[in-house]
Structure 1
Amino acid sequence: MSTLLPQKRLRLSPDVRRDALLRAAYDLFSRHGFADTRMDDVAAAAGVSKGTVYLYFPTKEALFAALLRRDVLPRVGRILFVLNHYNGPVGWLLKRVTHFIGGKIDAGTVPLYPKLLVREASRFPELARFYHDEVITPVLEAVEGLFRRAIARGELIAGEPKMYAHLFIAPVVKAALWYFTFGEISAPAVKARPYLKAHVETFLRGVRP
């Protein structure tokens, strides 16, 4: 008579186990938010003990930061490369960027992380600080450099590049905030893509010679 022997537990490599924890955390943060997700929940979803989670991530904030490094910072790096090396017509790039972002907002496919930060930054300032230092500040500085080069070429009137950067970014943030705050209960009076298109056209009329 044959017998069924207990299967030997598969030993996962540290990289595979770490990836499983990150995937579990992303799913839980998406469904429950940062505050309402416990490390116990992440461990259970990944199929490991709670102690195993802490071997890889000492805090929930460290787990969130690891997700940002995996999912956001590589994309930010590509964006920064374009912004820092682009020397073509600035209006063309601004229109392309806002067309892309507006489409994401209208389609409801904005990445998880900005939405989480808007909702929970006041309760978890260390998350906001990490995102500010690693994402917001480098992007703003790159946009500022983009405007500085356009001014030097005579494409834009002389002005403060830092102010130009903030004036350009502000309506983009407003469109995203509207989606994050009211998107689940009410359709916007104006879609993000045409709104941002009108913004860029108005902005360029004000800063071109």
Structure 2
Amino acid sequence: MSDNEPREPKFRRRAEDRPDEVMDAALVLFSEQGFASTTVDQIAARAGLSKGAVYLYFRSKEAILEGLVGRTINPVVDDAFDRMSGFRGDPRPLLAEFLRNIATMMTVRPVWAIPLIVLRESRLAPGITENFRRSVLDRALPAITALLRQGVEGGHIRPVDPELTARTVIGPVLVHILLSEVFDIRPGGGLQMQRLVDNHIQILWAGLAPEREPAA
């Protein structure tokens, strides 16, 4: 930019950055001391803002966490659910990609921290569980169910209950996280999310394989 070109006012650039600054500060505090123990005053102080400035962008602490889900997790799952919508064919490659993307996503600390906060704080702050369910699970289960149903109807997988099988698809991943972060039970070598997903896919595919016609 030349010296003669108008520059964007500094305060305007700063204002556009403030929601992210608030969410960044909140994520650190939620991870360090828990959602229930964190106050909006603390978030504002860490972000270098007044409490009133935080409320210009977020109506509540719960809204900040909802913003973190929208910023961090929704872009990843949105793409997966869009691809599942209206898909016709063998659902297994799409499910494998979805599960492996989750495994990859869970290696990124800012992403990984969000479901951990929800799990750890669900009893003290049930509203955050409701927000996460609405943003992620209420979309994941119907999308996977529809994908499996068309797979059954097309003969690509054996006749299974699509709704229950959708829970089977995502259940082991959720339980694996629960065992690790709530009960402190992990396999040798740490979380091993990618290995868990690969093992899960191997077992799941064996259960979904189309039934063979009996030999004549």
| Class of the TM-score when normalised by the shorter of the 2 chains | 0.7 to 0.9
Match for residue 64 of structure 1? 65
| Deviation at residue 91 of structure 1 after TM alignment | 2.4
| Deviation at residue 99 of structure 1 after TM alignment | 3.4
Structure 1 unpaired stretches of 5+: 1-9
Mean Cα deviation higher: 122-131 or 46-55: 46-55
TM-score by length of 2: 0.79
Match for residue 20 of structure 2? 19
CA–CA distance in structure 1, aligned partners of residues 72 and 195 of structure 2 = 28
Name the aligned partner's letter for residue 92 of structure 1.
Answer: P
Match for residue 188 of structure 1? 187
CA–CA distance in structure 2, aligned partners of residues 17 and 96 of structure 1 = 34
Mean Cα deviation higher: 31-40 or 128-137: 31-40
Give the 5 Å matches for 1:96-111: 96-102=97-103, 107=107, 109=109, 111=112
**Greater RCO between the two (CA within 8 Å, min separation 6)?**
1
Local SS of the residue matching 1:34: coil
Work out whether residues 87 and 149 of structure 1, in 8 Å CA contact, stay in contact via their aligned partners in 2. yes
Give the 5 Å matches for 1:3-152: 11-12=11-12, 14-102=15-103, 107=107, 109=109, 111-152=112-153
Local SS of the residue matching 1:37: coil
Name the aligned partner's letter for residue 83 of structure 2.
Answer: V
| Deviation at residue 75 of structure 1 after TM alignment | 2.2
Say how many residue pairs are matched. 197
Match for residue 174 of structure 1? 175
**Compared CA separation, residues 18 and 104, structure 1 to 2 (3 A):** closer
Structure 2 unpaired stretches of 5+: 1-9, 212-216
Mean Cα deviation higher: 41-50 or 14-23: 14-23
Work out whether residues 98 and 193 of structure 1, in 8 Å CA contact, stay in contact via their aligned partners in 2. no
RMSD (Å), alpha carbons: 2.5
CA–CA distance in structure 1, aligned partners of residues 71 and 194 of structure 2 = 28
CA–CA distance in structure 2, aligned partners of residues 48 and 67 of structure 1 = 18
Q: Percent identity?
A: 28
The structure 1 segments of at least 4 consecutive aligned residues displaced by more than 6 Å after TM superposition are none
**Compared CA separation, residues 90 and 169, structure 1 to 2 (3 A):** same
**Compared CA separation, residues 150 and 172, structure 1 to 2 (3 A):** same
Per-residue CA deviation, residues 138-197 of structure 1 (Å, 9 max, x unaligned), is 0111100110111111011223210111122211211222232355xx641484433332
